[in-house]
Structure 1
Amino acid sequence: MNKKVQQFSLKACLLLFLTLGSIEGAYRFDPFGKHDLKTSYKAAIIDKYKRLENLKSPKIVLIAGSNFAYGINSQLIEQAFQQPVVNMALHYDYGTDFMLKQISPQLHTGDTVIMGFEYIVESKGNLGEKIQMMKYFPKAKEWFTYDNIFQFIGANSLVRVSAFKLLLERILKQEVTTFSVSDTTSIFFRGALNESGDLISHHNNPRLKVIPRAVINDKASLDSAIVDMNAFYSKMKKIGVKVYYTYPSYAESSYQFDKKIIEKLDKQLKKHALFPILGKPEDFVFVDSLCQDMVYHLTKNGADIRTQKVIELLKKNDN
């Protein structure tokens, strides 16, 4: 190797090292870090988990993606069963394995868990979403693993590059976003939840006049999620925790198109599920006027109606 090639290689390595170092440094010492800890929707896990830890048994724990975040009124459940409730729902793309591991250590004899995972949920979920949560809540690292070192490097690199690009954009714009439950636009931020963990930031926001079609196709499968739910159910049964599954809310307009796919997924559930299932898919299909901004997201009135259905089905099952 001649001298010029050596010099070029050295400069290239140095440039790469400085670039990677800058990206990692920006990720670890983000000047917006404190602001994001107070405002990020992912940081809401801190408040939800604190409530989960502090509630005495018997308690009721709700776990799913955003269809539960938007679509449950926990206070109605508390009143109906005279037990404290915590809504742990954030986003479906964390995956069932991650979400169920999240709540398992805090469940005890006499507790009740209601699962309401979306039709598009999978076991593994999105690795990047989990890594980002871990930045705000380090305990989240206990709820997932990497398949191999290459996955670890790849996933963490993507998260850091995305964070670096966002940081540059924020610096150039010279603005810090503020959110409030009282405004009519913001939805996903840390303060968007009530004490029980229900999302309330959308209550005074105008709903979309036309609810977009769902992103679902005939390749959708709940098989991997059912394996997780069965394992969770079996584990909880041994310690005296009741576990139920209830269907996610769904907009009527999309249900007409997706009915065959949902029926296929329902057959998977009924064939393989060990856990009791509350109701039928059509019990949780709502007119579009009760949906906020997508097929799984309900308005305040929609959430109240849906919650009453869950209460009735739960009472009927326990009798």
Structure 2
Amino acid sequence: MKYLEYAYNLYPSILKILKYLVGASVFLWLIVFTYLNVIPSSKNCYHAAILQKQKLLEETPSPRIIITGSSSAAFGINSTILHNDFNLPVVNMALDSDLGSSFMLKQLEGHLQPNDIVLLVVDYQTSQKGNLLPQLITGDYLSEARDWRSSFTLSERLNGHLAYYWYISRSFFLSIWDMAHISKESSFSNVYTSRGFDSKGDLVSHLGQPPYFKNSLPALVVDSTLNQQIEEVNSFNRYATQKQAKLFWVIGSCSQGYFEQNQKAIQQYESVLNNTLFCPIIGNSLTGVMDDALYFDSQNHPNAEGRKIWTYRIVELLDSFDF
């Protein structure tokens, strides 16, 4: 009886150890499978859209309007309006703010042609080097994207790769879950998918969806990294000029609440731009500011009505330039 009681008392501990061993084994195998390319990446992943956007860039004839930059441009620009006004084909390359402006500009190198117009749309929180996780994910779909990654510290690389392995582990089990028809995708997950982009590269899957914007607004901090970011943009502007293309900086759209909360930092941000940026700026910090009700799920993602308003503002300002 004592042996039975002892075994019974050990049972919870043994169960915990077994769960840990199984979890660790699965995690390690996922790492191995990833490097061996045994686990296929989901073609419907939001970042998989980099494939179709790259194809658009390579196949759309010049002269053309190329939009690149932060997610506000993916969600908030209607390329059809631009096309109709300027009678030029439009390619919307914008995907994720966390890719960083350096990644975005490297993606265009080697593809600019004479008379191309590039709109670099930069949200306030978009840094030069971005975050490693989305850069790793895009590299799974487009091998060239691995060359566009920024340099990260050892700590940033460790955190980025841990986040990546958590991401693929979660994606792997969710794919099994979905294949078993155990759950249905939510309307929100149907927005963040590569299927959500139209033929010009605009994200349209959020149009008509109920709002998710909860007014949880982050604070904006302007530091010396902005100067480094602008230096790289100035270098790209010289490259664009050599290619007889034209580069414009567009401050990303943001909600009225975010603008008011961070007004002092935004004034500092705009002052740095005006004093150090060589390429023309479309409008100013107020150009993309709209009522909070015109945003879908964050302070940078306009809904259908906000998208139309912001695009027409950009068109009106672009009309004043001589291309």
Question: Do the aligned partners of residues 306 and 169 (structure 1) sit closer, same or farther apart at CA in structure 2, a change above 3 Å counting?
Answer: closer
With normalisation by structure 1, the TM-score equals 0.84
Aligned to 1:224: 228
Higher alpha-carbon deviation: 170-179 or 98-107: 170-179
Matched residue type, 1:301: E
CA distance in 2, matches of 1:57, 1:115: 17
With normalisation by structure 2, the TM-score equals 0.83
**For structure 1, which runs of at least 5 residues remain unmatched after alignment?**
1-14
The 8 Å contact of residues 66 and 90 in structure 2, kept in 1 or not, is answered as yes
Secondary structure of 1:283's counterpart equals coil
Match for 1:87 among 76, 84, 92? 92
CA distance in 2, matches of 1:44, 1:206: 23
CA distance in 2, matches of 1:98, 1:189: 21
1:167, CA displacement in angstroms? 2.9
Give me the CA root mean square deviation: 2.8
Match for 2:45 among 12, 36, 40? 40
CA distance in 2, matches of 1:177, 1:233: 48
Secondary structure of 1:234's counterpart equals helix
Aligned to 1:66: 71
Matched residue type, 1:27: T
Q: Deviations over 1:226-276 (max 9, x none)?
A: 122111111111110100112211111221111111111000100100010
Question: Do the aligned partners of residues 169 and 52 (structure 1) sit closer, same or farther apart at CA in structure 2, a change above 3 Å counting?
Answer: closer
Aligned to 2:244: 240
1:33, CA displacement in angstroms? 2.3
1:23, CA displacement in angstroms? 2.9
1:100, CA displacement in angstroms? 0.4
Aligned to 2:30: 23
The answer to whether structure 1 residue 112 and structure 2 residue 117 are counterparts is yes
Q: Deviations over 1:106-156 (max 9, x none)?
A: 111110001110111111110121011101111211212545788767644
Q: Deviations over 1:1-52 (max 9, x none)?
A: xxxxxxxxxxxxxx9x977751323325677625x12x10010000011011
Matched residue type, 1:291: Y
Q: How many residues align?
A: 299
Aligned to 1:292: 296
1:301, CA displacement in angstroms? 1.4
Matched residue type, 2:228: S
The 8 Å contact of residues 130 and 150 in structure 2, kept in 1 or not, is answered as no
Aligned to 1:214: 217
Matched residue type, 2:284: K
**For structure 2, which runs of at least 5 residues remain unmatched after alignment?**
1-21
CA distance in 2, matches of 1:42, 1:232: 24
Question: Do the aligned partners of residues 171 and 179 (structure 1) sit closer, same or farther apart at CA in structure 2, a change above 3 Å counting?
Answer: closer
Question: Do the aligned partners of residues 89 and 27 (structure 1) sit closer, same or farther apart at CA in structure 2, a change above 3 Å counting?
Answer: same
Matched residue type, 2:229: A
Aligned to 1:260: 264
CA distance in 2, matches of 1:146, 1:176: 41
CA distance in 2, matches of 1:150, 1:176: 38
The 8 Å contact of residues 119 and 248 in structure 1, kept in 2 or not, is answered as yes
